[in-house]
A and B are shown apart, each in its own frame.
Chain A
Amino acid sequence: MAAAAVGFRLVLVLFGGDLHLSSRPEVSTPLTSLRRLAEGYWLKQASMSPYSGSMYHGSPLLLSVLGPLTSKRSGGHHAHIYCSLVFVAVDFIAAMLIRLTGRTLQIARGKSLKSLDLAKSVNDPVNASAGDTASLIYLWNPWTIITCVGSCTSPIENLMVVVMIYGACSRLAPLAAFGYVMATHLSLYPAILILPVTLLLGYGPDTPPAKVFLQKGSSASKVDISDIGKSTSQRGFGQISWKPVLHFMLWVFIWSCYVLVLNSIILNKAGGLQEMFEKTYGFILTVKDLSPNIGVLWYFFAEVFDFFRSFFLIVFNMNIIFMVLPLAIRLRHRPCFLAFVYTAIVGMLKSYPSAGDSALYLGLLGLFANELAEMQFTFFLFFGYIGVSLLSPVMHNLWIWRGTGNANFYFATGLAYTCLQTVLVVETVSSMIKHDRKLRLLIRT
């Protein structure tokens, strides 16, 4: 199946030359567009700052990695065929890492259930392992495919997030730190994932909440004092293992120094780090580009009066940060799931969202297939996603090409999309909490 997905991508890359996906606002944003990257590369080759002219807003590292590939052209093919081949490989690696993460989670789940003596009563509704499901969802998700084929750099950003989660899950602090630093460097928003990563490194992968273990311990002590219950209850919570966390912090420091040095070397003659921060992070945070995308911010900032602009910029950027802490407190026993929720929220509220962000969190969603088996409104969500993803190009066509619609039409699909994502986040979180509650009830009986 995975090979088929890769094959399908290759077919699309090699023969789907006239799809024009790279110009779709749903696929490429000002941050991730490969066309802009090519422009930035060209500017850099002309020994100018790649950020001059307000075209390129990505990382200088990407310039030196992907830049040479954009300038090579093979006649008659996809414009950026070499880059697309890289993206196919990147997608495949990401899917494999998701699969490995899923395996780790599965083992952790099996362990914790066994320690709770629930392994028999809670059997997995999904036949295949969650990791396989998740990686297949990631590979066969149409949005991942169009993101991969549509020449934009989001596959790389997604890979970095996946690397980080994988590294944290399998307790490889250097790898996790590398993923974290790169993901933050590329698109800033994954910075909030530091909480789940720390929790993952500190407590280990997802477990049922601590209360369950406590209950188990108490009920076990009533009957007979078993060692297993005690040991798990001591292992599962209470003490955070600081060593990997400190390890991680150290590595984050090292990697970020490394990345900054590399960047300053690349930007040595043209511009400096100051300009890089202004043109990448500043561009993300101040929502300078108001060209339409599937988010809601472009419309809002196109409409808002100029003297309110900075106020609303603060409000919208704080919006993401406000949700970080409460969620972390509520879901601290499931750091991987917390990471999924964060990516979903970021995908919804970031300033230049694209289909690639949704591809990432939908792929991660598959990791929790067993826990979320009883989620509500799945039918509605599934068809909602299909409907919105079909509606969006039609509305765009109506507005831009036919001229019979206007910006409100397109924005309406953006709103609907955001609502769908909200419902998805709310439902996944509530069904996860319900799942935990059910485990507690099972222990009690």
Chain B
Amino acid sequence: MESSAKEDAQPKPRLIVRLGRLLASHHILFSALCCSAGIIALLFLPALAKNTYLSENALIPGSANPLFSTEDVAEANKFIKGIEAAAGESRDGMGMPKFIVQQMKELGAEVCYHEFLPHSKHFHPLKFFTSMTNDLAIHPNGTYTNSGTNTIGIIRAPRGDGKEAIVLVTPYNSQRVKENELLSLALGFSVFSLLSRAEWLSKDIVWLSADSQFGEYTAVSAWLSQYHNPTFVAGVTNGPDGIAEKAETTDFKRAGTMAAALIFKVGETRNYGDRDSVTMYAEASNGQMPNLDLLNVVHYLAVHRQGFRVNIERISSLVTSAWLRVIAEVIQTVGSLLRKINPDWKLDIAAPDYVEGTANLASSIYNQALGVPTGSHGAFRDYQVDAVSLEFSPTFHLRNENAKSSFLVRGGRLIEGVVRSVNNLLEKFHQSFFLYLLTAPSKFISVGVYMIPFALLVVPLPIVAAALADGGKTEGKSMNDHNMKGSADILQVDGGAWKWLQSARVLLVIQIWAVIVSLLPYYISQIADGTPIQSAVIWVVLSIIVLIILYAMLGSPYSAGVEWKLLKATMITSISIGLGLMSIINFATAQLGSLIVIPMCLFSRPVKARLGMNFLPRTVLLASNIFLAIFGFPPVILLVMKGLSKGTWTVDIGDFWVSMEFLWEWSSATYLYIFLVHLPCWLLCIHVLVHPCRQAGSKVKWE
């Protein structure tokens, strides 16, 4: 009678609730379908790449005839000779900056020096999250001799209002200059001298010759942070002794907001292809990319006007791998089949193209996922300036004068063309994509397409979580129904709806642990100046101790009697929140992470659970569980990645420390992902795996 009354009391659920229930009841089938669809879609990504196109009409690249001529080349050659002499004369490395400044002054540009200190290793994993204005520029004081010196020249635009600027950057090492760096400096100087005469400029030109003795990124980011964070120093600053004490060169000079930045350098390695090539580097910190239009302009001018070959980075081991070739063949046949069914589906892609695209795409995803910029353009992106690095790799020997001058003409024209295009812009770059992956220099996958595999992978998570949470609840209810028969009481549900609070507490404890573990390196790196192995061991030991202490303080996960289904539901919900967040911060990390985490989560089941299935599927499930649990552990992933890329399978704990140090130094969000999303999820998986499964059984017994 009570149950009938209860049914009367409960209205029919709404359609959306019923739909959810339907999905939840078939969650295993649904998640298997979605996950496999996601992986297939991921494999199809190179076939889905579109050709790039110029989205912003104002750019009109290549519409004007380039003015860069052999005269400028002669100037460049003169510059090379002069700077070589200057570098030979001076002993303290100040000869080259002085020479560059003098040359720029002769062109009528405003010049200044910028001194900076090398970055010390800082633990700031959250830096990407806070605004950039927070960290003030470190001012070198005169006593510290080992500082780098950037030289900056600014051309005021004859037609502009000084509100905007285009930045050209040529990195060089002032301590030990090489021939290729001289060539890139000469290229920069010749373009600068051309632009100083240009009538059409409407944006200021800033030429930064960055002193890369501490790495080019350090130099550029130090300059940028001073550019954007004005410091008001009381009193007169004394320049170091080497520099002429003129106020005009020691004052920090600024132009307007940066519209775009172009970093170019001539590579050391000689390229043995048929044409000089340009490699574009675009990945900034945390998977941010410059606007695609900037890459398009560079690619268009380089390929169609100046006859360069344009490359992007690739993982070359993939090009030769056999299994990728097999996949490529399969994709090709499937694609052509689909094409026959519907000619509008342009999914067919030739196998070599697919392999090539995958190698590029893999490198693109990897670089974005790592969250570490691939060059000094990353520093610009931190200030929302679109920047790209171009590395020229010439086919000739650098002593070959004829080839060199022809290269200078083409390189100069390329840079001039890009500057001209950017100069045309009236607004910031906004028209084209910011979120994309490159499969070739002229092919891209936009966010709308590459989201699909990720979305397919993530969709099962909430549904499985809902199914598990619901399952746990109904189990509780049925148990309470048994109670009710005895006591005839409807209200005797002991907080059935709030049962998950216990598992949420476990999650909370583990998250607190994860936060502590992720912060530990800050203290370890400050206290101990030991080897990486020592630090890593301290880290591991401390984190285990912290875990034990937390369990002692807040109760171990099994003492409260948490059902494993609810625990798993909690874990899956937390991981879907974590992955969702990460996909917004850095999509590539989330994509790679989801490939590991999602199977691990979905498969996890207690070893002791009575499943009521045959021996074979059970062992398969168990084996896959253990396999995934082992391979979900971050150091193991690192080891596997290393083994795959380098072929060395030696276990070195110090390596883990070193790579983590690398990540937090660059304030990569991947570090946070690994420790705040992946690691807790892994630990929860282990908890689910070794769950005793006592509670349900024993309760039934009691009754």
Contacts and interface: CB of A to CB of B under 8 A. Distances in A.
Interface of A: 18, 20, 121-123, 125-126, 373-376, 378-380, 382-383, 386-387, 390-391, 393-395, 397-398, 401-404, 434, 437-438, 441-442, 445
A8 to B, nearest CB: 12
A20 B134 contact: yes
Contact of A379 (B2, B288, B500, B585): B500
A373 B493 contact: yes
B584 A442 contact: no
A198 B580 CA distance: 46
Contact of A391 (B497, B498, B584): B584
A373 B569 CA distance: 20
Nearest to B132: A401
A400 B584 CA distance: 14
A393 B584 contact: no
Interface string B478-489: 000000000001
B496 interface: yes
B129 A397 contact: yes
B574 interface: yes
A385 to B, nearest CB: 11
Contacts of A391: 580-581, 584
Given A374-B493, A441-B5, A390 B504 contact: no
Contact of B577 (A123, A387, A398, A441): A387
Given A373-B495, A441-B5, A379 B584 contact: no
B494 interface: yes
Contacts of A434: 9
B491 interface: yes
Contact of B574 (A18, A121, A125, A383): A383
Contacts of A126: 495
Given A125-B494, A441-B9, A445-B2, A379 B134 contact: no
A394 B584 contact: yes
- Interface on chain B toward A: helix, strand, loop, or mixed SS? helix
Contact of A403 (B5, B134, B384): B384
Contacts of A122: 491
18 contacts: A125-B493, A373-B498, A374-B495, A374-B497, A375-B498, A379-B465, A379-B500, A380-B466, A383-B573, A386-B577, A391-B580, A391-B584, A394-B584, A395-B584, A397-B129, A401-B131, A402-B384, A441-B9
Interface in B55-105: none
Name the residue among A122, A373, A402, A441 with the largest chain B CB count within 10 angstroms.
A402
A121 B491 contact: yes
A442 B574 contact: no
Given A375-B498, A402-B288, 17 more contacts: A18-B134, A121-B489, A121-B491, A123-B492, A125-B493, A125-B498, A373-B495, A379-B569, A379-B573, A387-B581, A390-B577, A391-B580, A391-B581, A391-B584, A404-B435, A438-B490, A442-B491
Contacts of A375: 497-498
Nearest to A18: B134
Interface in B657-678: none
A321 B129 CA distance: 39
A376 B497 contact: yes
B491 A387 contact: no
Interface in B281-333: 288
B16 to A, nearest CB: 12
B648 interface: no
Interface residues on B, range: 35 or more
A373 B476 CA distance: 14
B396 interface: no
Nearest to A393: B129
Contacts of A445: 1-2
Sort A-B residue pairs by CB-CB distance and give the 5 closest, nearest first.
A125-B495, A404-B434, A403-B384, A387-B577, A383-B573
B531 interface: no
Nearest to A431: B497
B614 interface: no
Nearest to B128: A397
B165 interface: no
Interface in B261-289: 288
A396 to B, nearest CB: 10
A125 B498 CA distance: 10
A20 B504 CA distance: 29
A123 to B, nearest CB: 8
Contacts of A395: 584
B287 to A, nearest CB: 10
A163 B465 CA distance: 40
A387 B9 contact: no
B559 to A, nearest CB: 16
Contacts of A394: 581, 584-585
Nearest to B669: A394
A3 to B, nearest CB: 16
B418 to A, nearest CB: 21
Contacts of A390: 577, 581
Contacts of A383: 573-574, 577
A314 to B, nearest CB: 32
A74 B490 CA distance: 60
B42 interface: no
A362 B694 CA distance: 35
Nearest to A401: B131
A390 B5 CA distance: 42
Contacts of B573: 379, 383
B145 interface: no
A395 B584 CA distance: 8
Nearest to A19: B130
B469 interface: yes
A441 B2 CA distance: 9
B469 A379 contact: yes
Contacts of B469: 379
A383 B469 CA distance: 12
A40 B453 CA distance: 53
A437 B491 contact: no
A121 B498 CA distance: 20
Name the residue among B465, B491, B500 with the largest chain A CB count within 10 angstroms.
B491
Nearest to A125: B495
Interface string B129-168: 1111010000000000000000000000000000000000
A437 B493 CA distance: 16
Contacts of A437: 9
A378 B435 contact: no
Interface in B370-422: 384
Nearest to B430: A403
A378 B497 contact: yes
A11 B498 CA distance: 31
A390 to B, nearest CB: 6
A442 B2 CA distance: 10
Name the residue among A18, A126, A397 with the largest chain B CB count within 10 angstroms.
A397
Contacts of B500: 378-379, 382
Contacts of B434: 403-404
A375 B495 CA distance: 9
A125 B435 CA distance: 50
B510 to A, nearest CB: 14
A374 to B, nearest CB: 5
B626 to A, nearest CB: 28
Contacts of A386: 577
A122 B490 CA distance: 9
B384 to A, nearest CB: 4
Interface string B102-132: 0000000000000000000000000001111
Name the residue among B466, B495, B584 with the largest chain A CB count within 10 angstroms.
B495
A378 to B, nearest CB: 5
Contacts of A374: 493, 495-497
Contacts of B1: 445
A435 B396 CA distance: 85
B131 A398 contact: no
A442 B490 contact: yes
